[in-house]
Amino acid sequence: MSVETVSGANAPGQGYSKKRVALIVGVLSLAVFMSSLDLFIVNLAFPYISRDFHGSSLDSLSWVLNGYSILFAAVLVPAGRWADRIGRRRMFAAGLVVFTLGSILSGVAPDVSLLIAARLVQAIGAGMMVPASLSLLLAAVPGHARAQAIGTWSAIGALGAALGPVIGGFLVEVSWRWVFWINIPVGVVTVILAFRVLPESRDETATSRPDMLGAVLVALAAGSLALALVKAPSWGWTSKDFIGLLVLALACSVGVVVRSARHDAPVVDLKLLESRSFNGAIVASVAYYAGFGAFLLSMVEFLTGVWHFSAIDAGLAIAPGPLMVLPFARVVAPRLAAKLGGAGRVAVIGCCVNVAAQSWWLTQIQVHAAYATHLLPVQLLGGAGVGLTIPSLIGAGTASIPPARFGTGSGVLNMARQIGTVLGVAGLIAILSGLNVADPVVAFRHATELVIAFFALAGLTSAALLSRRVTTTQ
């Protein structure tokens, strides 16, 4: 069996006490929680926004959700590269400020067009702070503590996504504007803590200006792909518009490779793509987050549309799953990785757990509400699977990233996660668009089959590309 060797601690993180490391991880996790929460919390507020802006077309309203997803995906990699260059804490704090400003503007928006514009500001801020957040963690936390830190960071991010319906359910009862305003106090506190707690880090070897054309091409590639996936359910998966955007995304990606091979300071270091574990984490993350995103939205739609739960009740019904994530991500996954010889092997187990949970749900879906016996076990088992898989994919993907490219590598991995989420939601919408009101269970069974397929693909990819035994040297 072949063996990959991973370096232990980074020099930047060696001098910090356990308390300081805990504070660093806490601040970084708070920011990623906020950005993840915002991806899913607005789904629950959408009907309330629609009622408030009566007369606005459904197509224009959809951009409140879609514009954020597309621009967020587009910004991640260029922002990660610039974080390496100018300073990761600086980029992180700037992203928090922009995100908080976007939240303020979203909450006071008087019409749909200004709400969409404010959401785009939010997306830019989130795209700036998320890769900077992960890269700061990698730079500050010593190697022996990194698995647990990544577990905490990723679990809090997953909690933000999964608790979106829970928190959103309570907030929309007051006003949909509180869905955005809730970010303001958290953002202000996190900015203050960032400058007090987080150490600065950057690529000290950088001498050339980063490739601006390459950055534009990366943004166009990611944005085009995200737009294609967002619009696929309405355009059609074989439409010329959808295929045209895929061709544009592919052409821009080729352009990025060509530019990166020739430029002194490429936006994407092609050496990153020579790593089997990095590539495997990218592909597995796309598949896994497609399943994760489709599952979360499917649950909200099923509980409110078929079992007729209120927004608050639906959120509370989903809550047990997220509560399982943190202990499995922070405690179980790192210990399993140490015993089994690598985070990639734990990712395989986590994907299998998620497939098992969804397969159980496939046999239990029915029109009549039976939460305790039919859905609660799925939530608990699924939450455990998420806690095992997400930090393991991040751990496997970041293991081969050199310190000078922490921001860039984090941006690429987070872009894969976002593209996956968009893909899963697009696939779910395509399935639910054919829902038969007289027998809605059929459509949700097909949706569950889609989720199972994505989780299974993530597991197979992890088994093929991430399951090599890893030895850690301190």
- Region 44-66: mean pLDDT is 79
The C-alpha atoms of residue 38 and residue 365 are separated, in whole angstroms, by 28
Number of residues written out for the chain? 474
350 or 144, which is more confident: 350
Tokens coding 101: 């400003």
| Most distant CA atoms of the chain, gap in Å | 65
pLDDT of residue 91: 94
Residue 120 Cα to chain centre, angstroms: 17
Beta-carbon-side half-sphere exposure of residue 474 (alpha carbons within 13 Å): 4
Query: In which residue are the tokens 């050496």 written?
Result: 271
Please write the tens of the pLDDT for every residue from 423-467.
999 999 889 887 787 889 999 999 999 999 999 999 999 999 998
Please write the tens of the pLDDT for every residue from 282-308.
999 999 999 999 998 899 889 988 999
How does the average pLDDT of the chain come out, rounded?
A: 87
Domains identified in the chain, total number: 1
Asked if residue 38 is part of any domain, the answer here is: yes
The 3-state secondary structure of the chain, one letter per residue:
CCEEEECCCCHHHCCCCHHHHHHHHHHHHHHHHHHHHHHHHHHHHHHHHHHHCCCCCHHHHHHHHHHHHHHHHHHHHHHHHHHHHHCHHHHHHHHHHHHHHHHHHHHHCCCHHHHHHHHHHHHHHHHHHHHHHHHHHHHHCCHHHHHHHHHHHHHHHHHHHHHHHHHHHHHHHHCCCHHHHCHHHHHHHHHHHHHHHCCCCCCCCCCCCCCHHHHHHHHHHHHHHHHHHHHHHHHCCCCHHHHHHHHHHHHHHHHHHHHHHHCCCCCCCHHHHHCHHHHHHHHHHHHHHHHHHHHHHHHHHHHHHCCCCCHHHHHHHHCHHHHHHHHHHHHHHHHHHHHHCCHHHHHHHHHHHHHHHHHHHHHHCCCCCCHHHHHHHHHHHHHHHHHHHHHHHHHHHHCCCCHHHHHHHHHHHHHHHHHHHHHHHHHHHHHHCCCCCCCCHHHHHHHHHHHHHHHHHHHHHHHHHCCCEEEECC
Asked if residue 1 is part of any domain, the answer here is: no
Asked if residue 75 is part of any domain, the answer here is: yes
Please write the tens of the pLDDT for every residue from 375-399.
999 999 999 999 999 999 999 998 8
Confidence check: pLDDT of 166 > 60: yes
pLDDT of residue 99: 96
- Region 401-410: mean pLDDT is 87
Confidence check: pLDDT of 153 > 50: yes
Asked if residue 255 is part of any domain, the answer here is: yes
Asked if residue 7 is part of any domain, the answer here is: no
Asked if residue 384 is part of any domain, the answer here is: yes
pLDDT of residue 207: 62
Distances (CA, A) of 235 to 111, 244, 297, 363: 26, 12, 21, 32
Tokens coding 265: 């300071």
Q: What CATH code is carried by the domain that includes residue 166?
A: 1.20.1250.20
pLDDT of residue 66: 85
Strand-pair partners of 5: 471
Query: In which residue are the tokens 């734990």 written?
Result: 346
Strand-pair partners of 470: 4
Please write the tens of the pLDDT for every residue from 346-361.
999 999 999 999 999 9
Asked if residue 3 is part of any domain, the answer here is: no
Domain span holding position 157: 16-472
pLDDT of residue 15: 57
Asked if residue 6 is part of any domain, the answer here is: no
Confidence check: pLDDT of 168 > 90: no
Confidence check: pLDDT of 156 > 70: yes
46 closest CA partner among 431, 361, 307, 425: 425
Please write the tens of the pLDDT for every residue from 5-24.
333 334 444 557 788 888 89
Query: In which residue are the tokens 């303001």 written?
Result: 184
